[in-house]
């Protein structure tokens, strides 16, 4: 595996960017890369670009250094893209993709199409943080950098419960813990703790959810007017689909919320055999085998019907084979 130093030859300005609506792994990987470069290569001019993450993810050091806008005059010699499944998913640093002299993408999405100067995609990895760990010199990873890596790994594995968690994932987590990180506080603050309003919207989603395919699919939808009533935004929807997935007997969880008139952000999670990345890809989205998403337009019932039709393509042969 190459070192991140391999890509820094002749580089003076580095930009680091994550995907739209950054989650724990996106924020963790971007901040880990930022901390590693600023601490070990101080001569570099390093900038990290992200949409403003939800407040629970602000427990990492140097979060105040995040740039939430990209100016027309911003340039870089190297653009490092982390946890980005496609060029279209680049967040606020999207304009830099065209202006950057070189691009490096480190990812773990099976749907990534690889339109970069350098590309490392490991779909078998638990998280982008697990991927970038192999590009770091373990001795040069500070406690602050280790905290960011641990947060990202913990979030994308559902605190080490998803099938993407491997023995190597646990070995990396152990090495990060050996750095003296406050791992309990990281999980409590960034993963488990919710605001009162976030708990209210979770309760609303659970109360109004319904099931399909004999209870094997659970669906919940939140309208924009409901989000407005509780004073919430898309960042506050994080974690709802994971809670739906925990329902007994469920193979697939679908959570959707309205981002504009008749436009829904759809999140899909599966437990065992169903590949939700195929479902998301059918509607222009992407992701992983057990976790994926897309954006769809139409009445929410029509959106659900279209998703159901795509799920049928996997349920029908699976049921036939196991009859």
Per-residue pLDDT of the chain (323 residues; tens, 9 = 90+): 589 999 999 999 999 999 998 999 999 999 999 999 999 999 999 999 999 998 899 999 999 999 999 999 999 999 999 999 889 889 899 999 999 999 999 999 988 888 899 999 999 999 999 999 999 999 999 999 999 999 999 999 999 999 899 999 999 999 999 999 999 999 999 999 999 999 999 999 999 999 999 999 999 999 999 999 999 999 899 899 999 999 999 999 999 999 999 999 999 999 999 999 999 999 999 888 999 999 999 999 999 999 999 999 999 999 999 97
pLDDT in the model for residue 1: 57
Separation in Å, CA 311 to CA 111, 216, 242? 18, 11, 18
Domain match, 176 and 236 both: no
Is 235 within 8 Å of 21 (Cβ atoms)? yes
Domain span at residue 126 reads 4-192
Q: What is the pTM of this model?
A: 0.92
Domain match, 245 and 182 both: no
Q: What is the largest distance, in Å, between two alpha-carbon atoms of the chain?
A: 64
Q: What is the CATH number of the domain that holds 69?
A: 3.90.1640.10
Domain match, 12 and 89 both: yes
Domain match, 156 and 293 both: no
As for how many domains the chain has, the answer is 2
CB burial of 255-282 (b: ≥16 within 10 Å; e: otherwise) equals: bbbbeeeeebbbbbbbbeebbbbbbbbe
Is 85 within 8 Å of 277 (Cβ atoms)? no
Domain match, 78 and 183 both: yes
Domain match, 8 and 147 both: yes
Domain match, 253 and 300 both: yes
Cα gap 238→235, rounded to integer Å: 6
């Amino acid at each position: 595996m190459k070192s991140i130093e391999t890509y820094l030859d002749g580089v003076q300005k580095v930009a680091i960017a994550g995907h739209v609506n950054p989650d724990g792994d996106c924020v963790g990987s971007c901040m880990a890369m930022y901390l590693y470069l600023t601490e070990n290569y101080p001569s570099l001019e390093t900038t990290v670009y992200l949409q403003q993450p939800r407040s629970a993810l602000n427990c990492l050091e140097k979060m105040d250094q995040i740039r939430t806008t990209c100016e027309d005059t911003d340039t870089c010699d190297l653009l490092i893209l982390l946890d980005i499944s496609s060029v279209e998913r680049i967040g606020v640093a999207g304009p830099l993709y065209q202006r950057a002299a070189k691009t490096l993408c480190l990812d773990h999405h099976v749907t990534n199409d690889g339109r970069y100067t350098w590309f490392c995609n490991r779909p078998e990895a638990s998280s982008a943080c697990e991927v970038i760990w192999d590009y770091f010199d373990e001795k040069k990873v500070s406690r602050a950098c280790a905290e960011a890596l641990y947060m990202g790994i913990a979030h994308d594995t559902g605190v080490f419960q998803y099938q993407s968690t491997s023995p190597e994932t646990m070995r990396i987590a152990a090495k990060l813990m050996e750095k003296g990180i406050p791992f309990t506080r990281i999980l409590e603050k960034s993963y488990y703790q919710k605001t009162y309003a976030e708990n209210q919207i979770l309760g609303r989603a659970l109360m109004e959810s319904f099931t399909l395919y004999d209870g094997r699919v659970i669906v919940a939808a939140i309208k924009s007017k409901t989000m407005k009533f509780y004073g919430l935004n898309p960042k506050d929807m994080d974690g709802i689909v994971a809670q739906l997935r925990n329902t007994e007997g469920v193979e697939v969880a679908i959570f959707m919320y309205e981002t504009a008139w008749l436009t829904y952000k759809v999140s899909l999670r599966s437990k065992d055999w169903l590949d939700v990345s195929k479902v998301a890809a059918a509607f222009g989205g992407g992701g992983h085998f057990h976790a994926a998403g897309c954006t769809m337009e139409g009445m929410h019932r029509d959106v659900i019907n279209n998703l159901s039709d795509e799920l049928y393509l996997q349920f029908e042969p699976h049921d036939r084979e196991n009859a």
